[in-house]
Amino acid sequence: MADAKVIPFDDDRSRGSRGAGSRRRGSAAESAPVGEGPGGEVQPLPVRGAAAPDPAEPEEPEEPDESPGARPTTEGGGEEGGEDGGLERRVAAGLSFLRRRLTGDYEVDDFGYDAELTDQVLMSLLRPMYEKYFRVEVKGVENIPAQGGALIVANHSGTLPLDGLMMQVAVHDHHPADRHLRLLAADLVFVLPVVNELARKLGHTLACAEDAERLLAQGELVGVMPEGFKGIGKPFGERYKLQRFGRGGFVSTALRQGVPIVPCSIVGAEEIYPMIGNSKTLARLLGFPYFPLTPTFPWLGPLGAVPLPTKWTIQFGEPIPTDGYAPEAAEDPVLMFNLTDQVREQIQHTLYKLLVQRRSVFF
């Protein structure tokens, strides 16, 4: 694999096409509107008025209503075949989804984001790991704006970037306005086979100022982890110690768009792959920024790649507004440094607070 070039987030150079992210709708698989799912109109049960029974006359058993709108009920009062009806609806919805995928009757945006595939398939694949394996606890999700653009800035750790995916599930499943998080990723993500396509479908895009500004201008939630490979590939002995946040490019982008910055602290990801060493020779040969050595990998082979089932907490902090600054503030290095330091300190302080509160790494 060729050496991957990491483009810094604050690189404002204009860019040309970037693979799948610069595709425009026009093909059959990308231009058709999302098809409607199956559904039928449910008719209400008929209302029958009955006179009070005459005590002098014996009551006659009521004959079942065989009108077309009536549905048989069981002795307990529930509708007969209710579970079967629900199963039939799910099967019909699944078949309709497959039909749309096969015929290209769905749409993706200019960055390759496939909302239908993400909601119905990819999130369903990530959710068991989120809910059952890492048992993620989410706090402060109400601090994320209900509408409009916002930049979520989080710490990065764990050897593999599972923390970004779990943060994406947290926003998708817990935000009251059903918002979607668009993550900014390094070049390496978009040169790996399979990973590239999945990342595009999930809404990820290149970590550059140009793409971030376009998404924020469209009112999207954008997630960035400014530590980059310095954070995700740091030794286990430096866990929960934030690395440098670059040159403040994310602050400049937020200032240009006038969107709030939401700090996010993630506890639990540092321990999933305790990195006790780094094989730089293998990293150079494979074109990776580092090659992790953990207590289980590569000694146990594929089994060593299974993350430890740690208990996670994701906390979204109070948003930091940027709309009160003048347009030229985005070029002020002193202001960018101060805001970057403020975001970093807020994330670090919250990390220490969460570490003190947790009972155990695994519970």
Tell me what percent of the residues of the chain surpass a pLDDT of 90. 67
Q: Using one digit for the tens of pLDDT, what is the confidence trace for 272-319? A: 999 999 999 999 999 999 999 999 999 999 999 999 999 999 999 999
- Paired tokens of 357: 């509160």
The edge-to-edge listing of strands for the beta sheet with 261-267 is 137-139, 313-316, 261-267, 150-154, 221-224, 181-185, 205-206
The string over 219-246, giving b where at least 16 C-beta atoms fall within 10 Å of a residue's C-beta and e elsewhere, is: ebbbbbbbbbbbbbbbebeebbebbebb
Using 50, 70 and 90 to split pLDDT, how confident is the model at 180?
A: very high
- pLDDT at residue 26 is higher than 90: no
Collapse the DSSP code of 228 into the 3-class scheme (helix H, G, I; strand E, B; otherwise coil) and give the result.
coil
Q: Using one digit for the tens of pLDDT, what is the confidence trace for 198-236? A: 999 999 999 999 999 999 999 999 999 999 999 999 999
- pLDDT at residue 47 is higher than 50: no
Mean pLDDT over all residues of the chain? 82
Q: Using one digit for the tens of pLDDT, what is the confidence trace for 115-149? A: 999 999 999 999 999 999 999 999 999 999 999 99
Q: Which of 210, 228, 217 is nearest to 153 (CA)?
A: 228
Cβ atoms of 187 and 6 within 8 Å: the answer is: yes
Q: How far is CA 205 from CA 175, 217, 284, 305, in A?
A: 22, 15, 25, 26
- Paired tokens of 358: 């947790």
Q: What is the pLDDT of residue 266?
A: 98
Question: What is d(CA 215, CA 52) in angstroms, rounded to the nearest whole number?
Answer: 67
Q: What is the pTM of this model?
A: 0.75
Q: What is the pLDDT of residue 19?
A: 40
Question: What is d(CA 339, CA 256) in angstroms, rounded to the nearest whole number?
Answer: 14
Higher-scoring residue by pLDDT: 61, 93: 93
Q: Tell me the average pLDDT across 61-86.
A: 49
DSSP 271: G
Using 50, 70 and 90 to split pLDDT, how confident is the model at 83?
A: low
